[in-house]
Each structure stands twice: as C-alpha cells, then as structure tokens.
Chain A
Amino acid sequence: MTTTNRTRQLYWKPSYVDLDAMYPPLASAGIHFDDWDSWDDPFRMNYRQYIDVQAKKEVGFHPVRDAFERYDGMQHMPRRWAEGMKLVFPFLQTAEVAANRAHSRTARYAPAPALRTAAFYQSIDEVRHFQNHLFEMRTYNQKTDGFDNWAFWRDNHFAIAPAKVVMEDMMASDNVFESIIALNLCVEVVFTNLIFIGIPSVGALNGDTALAQEMLTTQSDETRHMAIGQSTVRTLLRDERNLEQIQYWFDKWFWLIHRIVAGPVGMIPDYFAKRKYIPFQEMYKRYVIDNFISGMVDDLAEFGLKPPRHLEQAKAELPDMSHSMYRTLFQYKTMLFNRMFVPTDEDLEFFDNGYPTFTANHGKFWDDVRAGDRKDLAQLPMTCQMCALPCVFPVPEAPTVCCSVYEGKAFWFCSDGCKFIFDHEPYRYGNRVTIDRKLNGLDVRQLRMRMGLPKGIGGVLKADDDI
C-alpha cells in the first residue's frame, strides 16, 4: 500500500464505543450494502487539494463581481431584472443553506467513510455558494430596495417560502440516502444545469455579468456533487433489494424539486428578463428532459429504475407554470417585497410564439389588466400541503386540486404528484401548517403590516422604469 493510499484511509473502528452508536443504523435503514468500508469516492482528494481548487474558483469570480460593482453594472440592467433577483437570490440562499446542512448530516452519519469525506467537502462547497449568493444580494442592496430584510420576507412570499419548506424537509430526512437521492441526484443532477447555466445565460443577456459569473462558479462544484449522486445510485442499485426504496425517493424528490423550481424559476427567463433567450419550457426540455431523462435515467434502466412517476404531469405543466405563477404573484402584488409589472407587447409576442396555449389560457387575464382591472385578491390562496405553492389552475375547467383526509382533517394538494407523497408519509407531513393556514384571517393589508413592508416596497413598476 502506498503512502498516499494509506493516508486516504483515515477512518478507524472505535474501541471504546459501539460502531452503531457512532453511526446510528437509522441513518441508512432499509438500505442494503455489503461492506461500507469498500465504498469508493470517485473524487478522492485531501483537504489541501480541495482548498487549492476552490481558491482558484473564488479568484475567478470575485474580480468579476468587483468590476460589476465598481463600474455600476446595475445601470445597464433593465429594472425588472433586479426585481426578479429579489426572488432568485433568497430562493438560492435558502436552498444552499439547507444543502449545506444536508451534506453535513451525511458527513456525520453516512455509514461509508468515503461518502462521509465526500459529503464533508460538499458541505463546505455549499457554504461558499450561500456566501456568494449573500455577496450578490449585498451588491444589489447598494442600488435597490428589497434585499435588506429578505430573510424575514422570504418566509411569507409564495414563490420563495416553498424552497424553504421543501429543502428543509430534504435536509431533515432520517435516512442520509434519501438526502443524497434528493439533493445529489434530483437537485444537483437534474435541475442545477437549468438554474446555474440556463439562468446565467439570460443574466448575461440582461447585463448582469456578476450573476452570470457567480452562478457558473457555483455550478463548477455541482459536477462533483452530481458524480457522487450518480455513483451512489449506481452502487445501491446493484442490490435489487434497494430498488423499491430508491424508486420511491426518486419519484418523490423529482416531483417536489420540479414544483419549487419550475414555477418560481421559470418566471425569470420568461418575465423578469427583458432581453429574452429561449422560453423557459424549452430550457427545461433541454436541461431536464433531454439531458437527464434521456441520458442518465435511460442508462439506469438496466438496474430497473424507471423515469419519475409523475414525469408526464411535469411535462404537461410546463406550458403554463411560469405564467400561472406570475399571474398569482401579480394578484398579490401589494404584499410582496419585489415589484411586478404588466407584460409589454414584446413580452406577449414572445409568449405567443413560445407557448401555443398562452393566449387561450392567460390572454384574457392580461387584457383585463390592461383595461384597468387590478385583479388584486384580498385573502391568501390555498397552498399545497406538500410543495407549499399556491394551488392555481391555468385551465380553470380542469382543476388539478385533490384531497386526502387524515386524522379528521382535509389536506389539499395542487396535483396527484403531491398527493402521492403525502399518502405514503402522512405521519411526516400531516402536522405541517401551510402558510395560508398560519396566516389565516389576515387580509392583504394586515399581512403587509405584519411583514413590516415599508412604503414603496412591492406593487408595480411604472411604465418608465425600463420595463
């Protein structure tokens, strides 16, 4: 054994405490694997190597951000883009903090030493990510409002609170392998290309070079996270006794991450980008359907893994998801900390060209708004018990809301996908209090007071704000 290999095996069998006390079996309950010590990490490196690589990445990002700030990069951004960033960065920061804690749990409790080491580095990656997201918010905060109390406001914002609900659920899973499937696979393999490559492309087009560079440096770590997720799944699926459990977690977390990403994030390239790249549904198709489903999932079919159970429902939602979410936020514009705006003729033309059902499903709403109807709603909407998003139906004649009764109460879901998860784990999700129930009885005016939104925050951008 070489010195290098010897120093890579820095774990030991404890002599004064039982191994199960150090690594509780609950953390891997139900997962079958013969010899955890033999689990291999595809990215073997020591701490010094890790720091050297990460330091170079930081050197690649911060000068770009410094230059953006020094030369007042925000003046070149359309006003609406900054409003969209008030959704993006609180969303991402929340997700990255939860990811840090999820990886930290894996680093502490995973039964395989190699997995613990890999998760340890990943947890530090996430610290770098959320620190950089915060740095971005600091940059924006110097030139615009809406970022100074974002953490408090986030908890009451329909598009962002779901990120907290879902990601914190992920990090709190008893089984570290559920966290790995949820995070390394469903978030980092399936959706981060969409977020950290797709959105920066739009950002650069709209003058936000700092965001573009920040997201690309974030994504550079995700390749390592993805590799760990894929190798974990392949390793576990070699034992067919793991298939049923892996399949359920895959079905569950694909659906939940799809819900919190597709609507909120979809609004960025479709609405908040004045200079547009491609419709969000095309972006989704490229990065999620073509890259992931037709790539990795097909490869894993040899082990019996099937595509996500509600994949067809996810695809069916795409033509309307960003539009339904935007309309809903527009109807609650007086209690948001970002500003909304009425889509311009150019926006509507882009939607007509990119979304064949846009005019039929959403055209009348915007015609009414342009005719002077504010469409404001005074009370909070029903939010889904699972994904926490508002239960909105782009095609009113085909509502997808469904219900389960558990312990004498009715629970509502936006979709079959969310109901499926609840019905499998009602004991886990039956005590969750949705935001509409938590804030029940308060109208929009009272909510605004409760959130401490100062005058001028929220509402609508004026026509001369370079919308």
Chain B
Amino acid sequence: MTSERGMIEAAAEVEPLLIYVRANGASTPPLLMNPVPTWTVRFFTKVGQQSLYVQLPAPVEAYRSLDGARLDPDAILRELGLLPYEMIELRSAAPNTDSSRA
C-alpha cells in the first residue's frame, strides 16, 4: 500500500510530458496527451488507442514521427529525449490490417 501510494504521489509530482499521438490508418486527428514521464511506451500505446477511439489489430508498435524510429515498448517515455509536442504514431504490425473504428 505504501509503495502504491508512493508511486501515485510520485506520479502526481512529476510534470507530465506533452506528446501528440496518432494511429496510422485511422482518420481520427492526432490528439495531445499528457502522459506521465515514467510510463512505458507499451502503456502509452494502450492509453493512446483508447484516447483516439481506435483499436488497432495487435501487435501495435509505436514510432517517433520526427525520424520514423521504432520505439522499444519497454522504454520509459522520459528517457526517449522527446521534444515538447513531438508526435508518436501507433501502427499495427499485423499483416493486412483493417485499422480503426474511428
């Protein structure tokens, strides 16, 4: 309980990042998100799809839009060196995908 409270308090104290998220193949416009910097890319991918009203066929991968680099799912967001307002693009790695419901 103490460690969970600690994580919640630590998350509350950390200033969120400012990152846009977009789902490839979806017509939903990119949305500005405020993820906690300690989130993993994997968690961000899950939350991002929910915010975008999208369900991409698994597995879903995250890419940095500025340079097209694929992001390690286990990487921590704050360690990626993202500029304010960068965009992360979510793409389905499954073959012949029919993308979104948006």
Asked if A205 is an interface residue, CB under 8 A from chain B, the answer is no
Residues in B33-76 with C-beta less than 8 Å from chain A: 33-34, 51, 53, 65-66
CB pair B51–A378 under 8 Å, yes or no, is yes
Closest to A405 in B: B83
Q: Which residues of B contact A381 (CB under 8 A)?
A: 28-31
A379 to B100: give the CA distance in the assembly, Å.
Answer: 17
CB pair A373–B27 under 8 Å, yes or no, is no
Q: Which residues of A contact B25 (CB under 8 A)?
A: 396-397
CB pair A401–B30 under 8 Å, yes or no, is yes
| Given A328-B29, A381-B30, also A437-B53 (CB < 8 A) | no
Asked if B77 is an interface residue, CB under 8 A from chain A, the answer is no
CB pair A382–B30 under 8 Å, yes or no, is yes
CB pair B84–A408 under 8 Å, yes or no, is yes
Residues in A126-141 with C-beta less than 8 Å from chain B: none
Q: Which residues of B contact A376 (CB under 8 A)?
A: 53
Least Cβ–Cβ distance between A400 and chain B, in angstroms:
12
CB pair B87–A399 under 8 Å, yes or no, is no
CB pair B32–A403 under 8 Å, yes or no, is no
Residues in A394-437 with C-beta less than 8 Å from chain B: 394, 396-397, 399, 401, 403, 405, 408-412, 436-437
CB pair B27–A394 under 8 Å, yes or no, is yes
Contact with A along B80-102 (1 / 0, CB 8 A): 00011111000000000001111
Least Cβ–Cβ distance between A281 and chain B, in angstroms:
19
Asked if A310 is an interface residue, CB under 8 A from chain B, the answer is no
Dominant secondary structure at the B interface: loop
Q: Which residues of A contact B18 (CB under 8 A)?
A: 437, 440
CB pair B31–A377 under 8 Å, yes or no, is yes
Asked if A375 is an interface residue, CB under 8 A from chain B, the answer is yes
A368 to B87: give the CA distance in the assembly, Å.
Answer: 28
Q: Which residues of B contact A409 (CB under 8 A)?
A: 83-85
Least Cβ–Cβ distance between A175 and chain B, in angstroms:
30
Least Cβ–Cβ distance between A248 and chain B, in angstroms:
27
A34 to B82: give the CA distance in the assembly, Å.
Answer: 52
CB pair A379–B31 under 8 Å, yes or no, is yes
A382 to B84: give the CA distance in the assembly, Å.
Answer: 14
Asked if A43 is an interface residue, CB under 8 A from chain B, the answer is no
A373 to B100: give the CA distance in the assembly, Å.
Answer: 13
CB pair B32–A440 under 8 Å, yes or no, is yes
Asked if A380 is an interface residue, CB under 8 A from chain B, the answer is yes
A408 to B28: give the CA distance in the assembly, Å.
Answer: 27
Pick 17 A–B contacts, CB within 8 A, sort by A: A324-B27, A331-B28, A365-B27, A375-B102, A377-B28, A382-B22, A382-B29, A391-B29, A392-B27, A396-B24, A396-B26, A401-B30, A403-B65, A405-B83, A408-B83, A412-B87, A437-B85
Question: Which A residues form the contact surface with B (CB < 8 A)?
Answer: 324, 327-328, 331, 365, 368, 373, 375-382, 390-394, 396-397, 399, 401, 403, 405, 408-412, 436-437, 440-441
